[in-house]
Structure formats: C-alpha cells, structure tokens
Amino acid sequence: MAAAPVLVVEDEREIAQLIQFHLEREGFAVTRAESGSEGLRLATAKRPKLVVLDIMLPDVDGLEICKKLKRAPDTAGIPIVMVTARGEEADIVIGLELGADDYVTKPFSPRVLMARIKNVLRRREVDAHATVTLLGGRLAIDPSRHTVMLDGEEVELTLTQYRLLHYLAARPGFVRTRDQIVAAVRGEDAVLSSRAIDVHVAALRQKLEEFGGLIETVRGVGYRFADQWEPMPNDEPVPRKG
C-alpha cells in the first residue's frame, strides 16, 4: 500500500524537519513547503491526504491559505491541522471556523501532533464511507463532497453545520451530548464551546426548513436525529414520539 501523502507548510526549517521525521516514521510520505504561496500551489497540484499548516508564514499566512483551500472544490475535502506559535484563542477560532480540522500550539509534543493527525484522518475515513440518505431519499448527505441535498436542491451549510448534521443523522435515534458533538465536529480539544452547539443547531433547523424539527432536543442531555417520521398530506414530517 502506498504511503499516504502529507504536505507540511512550515517556514521554520528545524520544526519542519522534526514534523517530517515523525510523519515518515509513522509511514507517511512528506512534501514540504517553506512559504504560503508554495504551500498553496503544492496543495492544489498534489491534493495530499492532509496538510500540516503553520499560521505564521513569510508571505501568505496560514489562515488565508486555509480559506482558499476550503473554498476551492478540488481541495475543500483535504483535512488541515494548523500549527501556531501565537497561542491566541482568536486565531485558533478563526482557523477552525475557516474549516481547519484541528490545531496544535508551539512548542508541541511530536506525539501529540501525530495523535491529532491520526485522529483527523480516522474521522475522515469514517465520514468517507458513511453516506446518509433519509426521508425516503429526500434528504441526502454526501461526505465525499460535503454537500446536503434536500428535495434535489443543495442546502447551503457552514462546515460546522454540515458536520453536526452528518454526525446526528448517521445514527438516527441515538442521543448525543453537547460535548460528544463538539468532539465529533471539531476534535476532543476543541475551542468551540458546548453551548455554541445550541446556536449551530438553531441555524441548522432554520436552513432545513420544514425538516428542521427532525433534530430533536433531549432536555438536559443534548440532541438526536429522529429515527422515524410520518409525512403529512402537505409533506411535513412528524417525528414519532416514544
């Protein structure tokens, strides 16, 4: 089996070499870039399995690269682990909201970085095989494209809203706590607060329009996607209780 390709975008040579050493020891094939523009070019041309991306770069910063990669259809699905020396919560939040999958702050333990990378890739492998079709085919969640189709029309969701919906809909009827949802959507050490999930759920329900009620609140616990529904004469879904 061919080694999974990983792109490391890091301008500090010693850190880049350290990351490369540990990645190669774990069986990954590493390509390095020392500037933001080179990293963006290589990510677009090679489409690696994952990008390790420093925020502080000499030309184009990592946040801008993350935004460009996540907005381009050909690279939107590439997971990104951000590396930053800033340690400022605002920068981390911006990176996650732009679509980064996880982050580490300098100085970091190589073992922690490798664990984060493996966790991100593991979650992506699960997502890649967990296509969800519900409501008699009216709702389709396509992990390979990160799209949600409702009655043949694409629903415009943020990455967080997409992941939240996919996580709940993948196992209808199963109750998920807010902390479990945070871990699934952003990683176990996410900056995203559990209470912020309520805001994302409210927005998601609104975007799903008449089907928004299928995301049920379990008071004091979290949320679940209704496991059964009955269409009304006007096609409005009514989740079955009990």
Q: Are residues 9 and 123 in the same domain?
A: yes
- Same domain for 142 and 113: no
Of 90, 112, 127, at which residue does a domain stop?
127
Based on the domain organization, do 108 and 144 belong to the same domain? no
Residuewise pLDDT in 10s, the chain (242 residues)? 467 899 999 999 999 999 999 999 999 999 999 999 999 999 999 999 899 999 989 899 999 999 899 888 678 778 899 988 766 667 777 888 788 888 888 888 899 899 989 888 877 665 555 567 787 778 888 877 778 888 888 999 888 888 899 888 888 888 888 877 887 776 444 456 777 889 999 999 999 988 899 999 998 888 999 876 654 444 444 444 44
SS3 assignment for the chain: CCCCEEEEECCCHHHHHHHHHHHHHCCCEEEEECCHHHHHHHHHHHCCCEEEEECCCCCCCHHHHHHHHHHCCCCCCCCEEEEECCCCHHHHHHHHHHCCCEEEECCCCHHHHHHHHHHHHHHHHHHHCCCEEEHHHCEEEECCCCEEEECCEECCCCHHHHHHHHHHHCCCCCCEEHHHHHHHHHCCCCCCCCCHHHHHHHHHHHHCHHHHHHEEEECCCEEEECCCEEECCCCCEEECCC
pLDDT at 220: 83
- pLDDT computed for residue 189 by the predictor: 44
What residue numbers bound the domain in which 216 lies?
131-239
CATH number, domain containing residue 50: 3.40.50.2300
Looking at the fold, whether 97 and 136 belong to one and the same domain comes out as no
Together in a domain, 159 and 228: yes
